[in-house]
Amino acid sequence: MAQLSGGRQALADFACNLHTILSAVNASTSPLLAPNVIFRLDSDLNSNPFNIVVNMLNREQFDDIGTSLWNDCTDLMITRGDKPEDVLVLGKVRAIAFAVLNTAVTPDLLGNLRALDLALKAARICIVNQQCDIALNILSVAAVRLTNVQPVHLGLDLAINRNLTIRYLLLRVRLAWLQDRVDIAEHFFAKLPLAVVSNDEEWIFETCFIIGDSALARRLPEIAIIWLQRASDHFTSFSLLSGTNFPDHENWNLVIRHSLVMASVQARSPLGTVTYEIEMRYLRSCYSEHPAVVLLDLSMGYNNSTNDELLQGLKGLVDKLPLTDMNMPIIFQFARSMGHSGGSDDGMEAFRILLMHPLPREWTEKCFVAFLLLLSRSEYSDLKRISILRDVIDALEKRGYPSISATPAHATLICIWKMTGEALLKKDYWTAKLWLEMCTNPKIFQYCSMETQIAIQKKLVACYLQTGETTAARRLIDRGLFQSQVDCERMYLSYKLLLLEGKDGRSMDSSWNFH
């Protein structure tokens, strides 16, 4: 819907203001935009500012403003693209930039082509961000622009026409999928022209894989098989057109076929069975040593493996394979599945095996948290569990792994606190003390919150008093983290310790002199 001239100028003025703000952004700027600016941004986008009325009077001014703001978004995505909240904001700002540029293009073939290309880029970003309403409005403009460039008499190159049509229809497919409209996704997919160049096939196979992978994650295996099979078919065409020397050819081939196998396993249908047999035969032939295939065979009971054999298979794999960010997602998933199929002890052992090997930092923390969670559910005795945990922590520290970050540290301490609580319920103060010492001695937990560390030390002092270890209790009270605290719990513990040391309550006052 066309806006009045004043509305277009107001939008351009706002875009100019956004450019001024974003030009001054630095590494410490937080948030990226103030709340009142975000409110204005959302209000403008909700009013659907994407018209196709050309502003001839100040077209160059609008073009400069829109281009500057578009480039701001591109630059900031490089420096702040790791912040999800900023990515969403920049997606909206880029939509505003497109709205301004869309009114600044010339009313001819080249102008329509430029606006269409920008629309497809802006819509794709919004779809990736799941900003569906904005994407739909932009694609509505793209549809008009696409119609404007297609008449034969305009002389648009057929390859360019085909590429733009394919890009537009694939974005419609992805948007329909996000809106849970599989029927509409199928409708637009059926309209795709035959791809004859590698770039077009690449767009198609990537889109099919995205939808198939999403369906697999949402446990819609029948739909996943359809889209993943399409991804496989178009990937084959892409490979034939481009040759197999493009980057990540082997990775893409493996990922698509592996996903097809996983969807087939979930489907439990005749189609799934046939697809599984075909794809697994191919994977065993071409990727027999790859961890994804080895673990898949293990998890599916290939050669009737027992749980012990599965664990031995995992150990044999990681003994000879460097663990990286590329292969850890599959290996982590396998270890976690051991906890589901074999019970807590098998899952715990799987993660113990992984933690005995060098891992990327993020995966070390994930595996350690998963290991502690399963350890807390184990049927092993407390002494055996403590020994297992001690061995894992020693292995991490020997590899120079000093500590885990605050959030996973807190999560692991919750697990240890649970096991401590179970011992205290049985009045087994000796075991409770051993669990608590696991939290206080290793450096690995040093980034846990101070409040949590103080609470653990107080509970440990109470256990020392119950087990008669007055020297250890005195050391913690006098030199521990809560030595400077003057509260009822510390006073009670100090008084009880004095009595155990053979002193009376009158010595209490002198024990506070160093404060």
**Contact indicator for 89, 58 with CB cutoff of 8 Å:** no
Percentage of the chain modeled with pLDDT above 70: 90
Greatest extent of the chain over all pairs of C-alpha atoms, in Å: 105
In angstroms, the CA 295 to CA 45 distance is 48
The full DSSP string for 5-73 is HHHHHHHHHHHHHHHHHHHT--TT--SSS-HHHHHHHHHHHHT---------TTHHHHHHHHHHHHHHH
On whether residue 471 sits in a domain, the answer given is no
Ramachandran region, residue 10 (left: φ > 0; alpha: ψ -120 to 50; beta: rest): alpha
In angstroms, the CA 37 to CA 159 distance is 42
On whether residue 243 sits in a domain, the answer given is yes
The full DSSP string for 223-251 is HHHHHHHHHHHHHHHHHHHH-TTSTTHHH
Token pair in block for residue 226 = 């359809």
Mean pLDDT of 478-505: 66
Q: Are residues 56 and 84 in the same domain?
A: yes
Q: Label residue 512 by pLDDT band (50, 70, 90).
A: very low
Instruction: Count the Cβ atoms, other than its own, within 10 Å of residue 485.
Output: 13
Q: For residue 171, is pLDDT > 90? A: yes
Q: Are residues 160 and 249 in the same domain?
A: no
Token pair in block for residue 109 = 């073939």
Q: Are residues 210 and 275 in the same domain?
A: yes
Give the model confidence (pLDDT) of 151-168 as tens digits: 888 888 999 999 999 999
In a 3-state reduction of DSSP, which class is residue 197? coil
Range of the domain at 185: 1-193
Q: Are residues 122 and 200 in the same domain?
A: no
Token pair in block for residue 512 = 């506070």
Q: For residue 247, is pLDDT > 80? A: no
Give the model confidence (pLDDT) of 430-470 as tens digits: 999 999 988 887 678 878 888 888 888 888 889 999 998 88
In angstroms, the CA 175 to CA 191 distance is 15
On whether residue 483 sits in a domain, the answer given is no
Q: Are residues 126 and 238 in the same domain?
A: no
On whether residue 452 sits in a domain, the answer given is no
Q: Give the pLDDT score at 56.
A: 67
On whether residue 368 sits in a domain, the answer given is no
Q: Are residues 68 and 121 in the same domain?
A: yes
Count of domains observed in the chain: 2
**Contact indicator for 120, 98 with CB cutoff of 8 Å:** no
Q: Give the pLDDT score at 195.
A: 86
Q: Give the pLDDT score at 511.
A: 44
Give the model confidence (pLDDT) of 379-430 as tens digits: 899 999 999 999 999 999 888 776 788 888 888 889 999 999 999 999 999 9
Q: For residue 485, is pLDDT > 70? A: no
Q: Give the pLDDT score at 1.
A: 36
Q: For residue 262, is pLDDT > 70? A: yes
On whether residue 177 sits in a domain, the answer given is yes
In angstroms, the CA 410 to CA 260 distance is 38
Mean pLDDT of 235-253: 83
- List alpha helices for 81-218, DSSP H: 84-102, 109-128, 132-149, 158-178, 182-190, 198-217
Q: Are residues 82 and 225 in the same domain?
A: no
Q: Which residue has the higher pLDDT, 80 or 453?
A: 80
Q: Are residues 74 and 174 in the same domain?
A: yes
The full DSSP string for 427-449 is T-HHHHHHHHHHHHSSGGGTTS-
Q: Are residues 16 and 112 in the same domain?
A: yes
Domain end residue (candidates: 239, 259, 287):
287
On whether residue 399 sits in a domain, the answer given is no
Q: Give the pLDDT score at 498.
A: 75
Q: Are residues 17 and 74 in the same domain?
A: yes
pTM of the predicted model as reported, rounded to 2 decimal places = 0.72
Q: Are residues 90 and 211 in the same domain?
A: no
Mean pLDDT of 473-483: 72
Q: For residue 202, is pLDDT > 90? A: yes
Q: For residue 4, is pLDDT > 60? A: no
Q: For residue 246, is pLDDT > 90? A: no
Burial code (b: 16+ CB inside 10 Å, e: under 16) for 62-95 equals bbbbbbbbbebbeebbeebeeeeebbebbbbbbb
Percentage of the chain modeled with pLDDT above 90: 56
Q: Which of 259, 198, 199 is nearest to 228 (CA)?
A: 259
Q: Which residue has the higher pLDDT, 508 or 74?
A: 74
Mean pLDDT of 364-391: 94
Instruction: Count the Cβ atoms, other than its own, within 10 Å of residue 287.
Output: 18
Domain end residue (candidates: 232, 256, 287):
287
Q: Are residues 231 and 120 in the same domain?
A: no
Q: Give the pLDDT score at 509.
A: 46
Nearest 5°: CA angle at 445, between 443 and 448?
135
In angstroms, the CA 74 to CA 487 distance is 55
Distance set, CA 22 to CA 99, 101, 121, 125 (Å): 18, 18, 20, 19
Distance set, CA 274 to CA 52, 93, 197, 259, 267 (Å): 51, 48, 31, 15, 11
Mean pLDDT of 57-83: 92
Q: Label residue 302 by pLDDT band (50, 70, 90).
A: low
Instruction: Count the Cβ atoms, other than its own, within 10 Å of residue 145.
Output: 25
Q: Which of 218, 207, 203, 213 is nearest to 174 (CA)?
A: 207
**Contact indicator for 178, 127 with CB cutoff of 8 Å:** yes
Give the model confidence (pLDDT) of 33-65 as tens digits: 999 999 999 999 999 999 766 666 788 999 999
In angstroms, the CA 42 to CA 36 distance is 10
On whether residue 485 sits in a domain, the answer given is no
DSSP 380: S
